Amino acid sequence: MPGVQKPKSAAQPTPAKPAKSLKRKKPQKGSREPQEPAKVAKKVPDLVVKAKELWTQANSTTLPKAERTEAVNRLMDHLKGHIHEVCFRKDGSRILQTCLKYGSTEQRDLVVAELKGSFIAMTRQPYTRHLFSKMLMYCTSQRPTMIGELHGNIRKLIGHKEASQVVEEVFVVYSNVKQRTMLVQEFYGPEFALFKDNPQTLEDILTNSPDKREAVFRNLLENITDAINKSTINHNIMHQPVLEYATLANDAEVQRLIDAIKEDVVHILHSKEGYKAAMLLFLRANAKDRKIILKTFKSFVKKICMEEYGHLVMIQIFDALDDTVFLGKIISAVSDLSALCECLAKLLEHDPNDKDHIMQHIVANRVLSTLVKADHDASKRHVQRKDAMQYGPLILKHIETHLPTFAANFGSFVVLALLEHPECGKQVKKQLNAHKKAIAQAASNGNKGSALIVEKLA
């Protein structure tokens, strides 16, 4: 309409520009963003920055002893009161390891004192685990304190990847008999983790508290099974409870243990307690379980035969297993059987007066003499082969130096087998002729093998 002004239309708002994303672009591969010095300083505490400077001086391999002592003193003065703050850092752990290595007794004790109460946490961390090991190594007077703090937590620690390594080191290297018993008894049940001053073996518990037998064996089996599941059954600390269980359990109880461990027996052969437990379990197992145990040895036969204790288990198996055909298949699975024989023969090179010499074992004597006879008598071979192993010359090679000694003691039947060997006989007879008197003396003292040797030499 004329004279009437149209109302002004409201101004249309200008659309806002989209806000820039606050996300930082990812750097390209191979590129590295420069960091401001201030930001770097915030990441590393000033205490550690200064400590690393002092540590570089103290850790120098070319530093004279007097200057190193002075550098360690400065470093310890700087860290005093703050050791707990830096120990859980990778760089802080390495700094403290240097302090332990080059520090005085007082300085080492100071490190232990400031970390007291944190030992369990230290065993669970990859960097502080190594620091704790160094503390055990260098702080000899503080070991009871450190080991004592672990008491009551062994069952939990043995199932931890890092902590189990520390527990194993404590048990094998740094514990006396009483401390070992104290550590092992925690596997018998929670209540036994409380007895710190008067540790008991499984036999002591069964004698003093026969009513606790069922609970103790149940707890022990649960802890052994847990160690199997967490792959820590290879630790020596687990072998003692396995041995005690296998020794003192009745038939039903030991069968439960065999069912749990039969596929892992191969992992306990490297310790004194472990090999004894393995032999007991094998002897108490039925035919079916024995085969399962032996099958797990298949890939490790050569290694087992060369171990300090493992070869004794193999000797026991040779004597106890009735199914020699099955045993032959396991042995024949070794890709290089001649190399295995060489390894076995090398065990004979040890000092013949050593109480653990392989020839001192009756079963070993029988096995070795049978192997020698099998070279020329096919009826003595448990596994039929087209060619003989020629084990006689191999054995002679390794015992030639001590041949007269073995002829007059526990190795007489092996020497007798060599004397009857078509290839070795002449050489053996020639060497023994000079020692007829000593061999005859052994024969007169009741050595039947020596008596038969004397007859052959006549």
Q: pLDDT tens digit string along 240-258?
A: 999 999 999 999 999 999 9
User: Which one is predicted more confidently, 170 or 342?
Assistant: 170
Which position has the higher pLDDT, 245 or 327?
245
Kindly state whether residue 424 falls inside one of the protein's structural domains: yes
Number of domains composing the chain: 2
Report the b/e string of 131-153 with b at 16+ CB within 10 A.
Answer: bbbbbbebbeebbeebbebbbeb
Range of the domain at 84: 41-150
Residue 387 is assigned to a structural domain of this protein: yes
Q: Is residue 253 part of a domain?
A: no
Indicate the helix (H) or strand (E) that contains 436: helix 436-444
Domain C-terminal end among 150, 183, 203? 150
Query: Predicted confidence band at 277 (pLDDT cuts at 50, 70, 90)?
Result: very high
Task: Please write the tens of the pLDDT for every residue from 136-149.
Answer: 999 999 999 999 89
In a domain, 232, yes or no: no
**Is position 8 within any domain?**
no
Residue 76: name the closest of 44, 110, 36, 118 by CA.
110
Q: Report the C-alpha gap between 170 and 412 in whole angstroms.
A: 43
For residues 404 and 438, give the distance between their C-alpha atoms in angstroms, rounded to a whole number.
8
The answer as to whether 369 is a domain residue is yes
In b/e form, how buried is each residue of 291-316, taking b as 16+ CB within 10 angstroms?
bebbbebeeebbebbebebbbbbbbb
Flag whether the pTM goes above 0.85: no
In the predicted model, is pLDDT for residue 238 greater than 90? Answer: yes
In a 3-state reduction of DSSP, which class is residue 264? coil
Does residue 298 form part of some domain? no
Q: Of 150, 183, 212, which one is at a domain's C-terminal end?
A: 150
Is 263 contained in some domain?
Answer: no
- Type of residue at 383: V
Q: Residues 99-125: what's their mean pLDDT?
A: 94
CA dist 226 and 372 (Å) reads: 44
Return the SS3 of 249.
coil
Place of tokens 């960091």: 35
Last residue of a domain, one of 96, 115, 150: 150
Burial (CB < 10 A; 0-12, 13-18, 19+), residue 26, is: exposed
- The tokens for 342 are 């060489």
| Whole-angstrom distance, CA of residue 113 vs CA of residue 79 | 13
